[in-house]
Structure 1
Amino acid sequence: MSIKRNIAVLAILFSVSASVTGSEEPLLTVLKDPNCGCCEQWLQALPDSFSVSVEHPNNLTQLKRDSGISAAVQSCHTAISDNGYVFEGHVPPTLVSNYLAGEKSENGIGLTVPGMPVGSVGMEMGSRFQPYTVYEIKQDGSVIPYQQIASSEQQQTLSNGGF
């Protein structure tokens, strides 16, 4: 099955779910390992305006691939919006909101923060901070830089995002 078809199927499933709940707020389904603490911290940083459900699938890696997330840009958890966009790893909540509001490329399918950079949302370790790049994932599987996070101050601003 192609990436485009997988995303279309996921989008249909999530839009049916959103229409059943009558929800106007963004709906995210987060796929993660049940034992991952940093994923829980990332979830807590999401704005209250998001409706979030959490699943612990046995085939998490395969679901990531099926959603268009290559092994090279994977992290620990995957969030899929009701309209089929993917957010892989420790993407700052403000950037998730911005992307869902339309700040994306024409053929973008989501954002990723590969790995688990120290200081990213959910990976805070005191004053330690590792600059990192948030990438946009394209329909063809390629990635392009979306935003560089250069400092803990910038990270803090994007983590809070006025929520």
Structure 2
Amino acid sequence: MSIKRNCAVLAMLFSVSMSVAGAEEQLRVLKDPNCGCCEKWLKALPESLNVSVEHPIDLTQQKRQAGISADIQSCHTAISDSGFVFEGHVPPALVSRYLEGDKSTNGIGLTVPGMPVGSVGMEMGSRFQPYTVYEVKKDGSIAPYQQVASIKQQKKLSGGGD
């Protein structure tokens, strides 16, 4: 094969891989149909995500199957088509950042255990409880991913500006 042809093939492969990388990410959200905070979180997600919502009867079991143990669970679970899991009120900017590759080599997703006051979907006026977003690892362990220390920082991470 000539050098010219090799370059053409490489250019074509690069073009295809770039179009796949830029494809709209699919996010399947599993939640209780009566949960209002989940609805608020869904509305805060970036439009670049193609989101579908399901209301499974076996929500807890599906969380476990996705690698989310009971001690790091929250009210809803989002699973990307690339297999990453986002549990609870993870700020939208961090979901995007993780999907773009800002993760450890053995990470499977992010979690905000519980339902911290002031997190995305759990806004209560000016009340705010600092919280940590954790990365969930393949072995089930967690490690701090980002601390959210103030309502101002929370607004930036949720697309709300200053």
TM-score, normalization by structure 1: 0.84
CA distance in 2, matches of 1:145, 1:118: 19
Cross-structure match for 1:14: none
Residue 101 of structure 1: aligned partner:
100
Q: What are the ranges of 5 or more consecutive residues in structure 2 without an aligned counterpart?
A: 1-19
How high is the sequence identity, in percent, across the aligned residues?
75
| Aligned amino acid, residue 98 of structure 1 | R
CA separation in 2, counterparts of 1:111 and 1:24? 21
Q: Deviations over 1:116-161 (max 9, x none)?
A: 0000000000000000000000000000000000000000000007
- Give the Å deviation of 1:65: 0.4
What corresponds to 2:150 in structure 1?
Answer: 151
Structure index of larger Rg: 2
Amino acid at match of 2:33: P
2:48 counterpart residue number:
49
Question: How far is the alpha carbon of 1:49 from its aligned partner?
Answer: 1.1
Runs (4 or more) in structure 1 with deviation over 4 Å come to none
Look up the equivalent residue of 1:127 and give its one-letter code.
Answer: S
Residues 12-53 of structure 1 deviation map (CA, whole Å, 9 limit, x = unaligned): xxxxxxx9xxx9211100000000000000000001111000
Q: Deviations over 1:42-76 (max 9, x none)?
A: 00000111100000000000000011000000000
Deviations 1:67-121 (A, max 9, x none): 1000000000000000000000000000000000000000000000000000000
- Residue aligning to 1:86: 85
**Residue 9 of structure 1: aligned partner:** none
The amino acid across from 2:89 in the alignment is: H
Code of the residue aligned with 1:40 in structure 2: it is E
User: Contact 1:94 / 1:161 at 8 angstroms: preserved in 2?
Assistant: no
Residue 160 of structure 1 aligns to a residue in which SS? coil
Report how many residues are paired: 141
Q: Which has the higher contact order (CA 8 A, sep 6+)?
A: 1
1:91 maps to amino acid: V
Q: Which amino acid letter does the alignment assign opposite residue 100 of structure 1? A: L
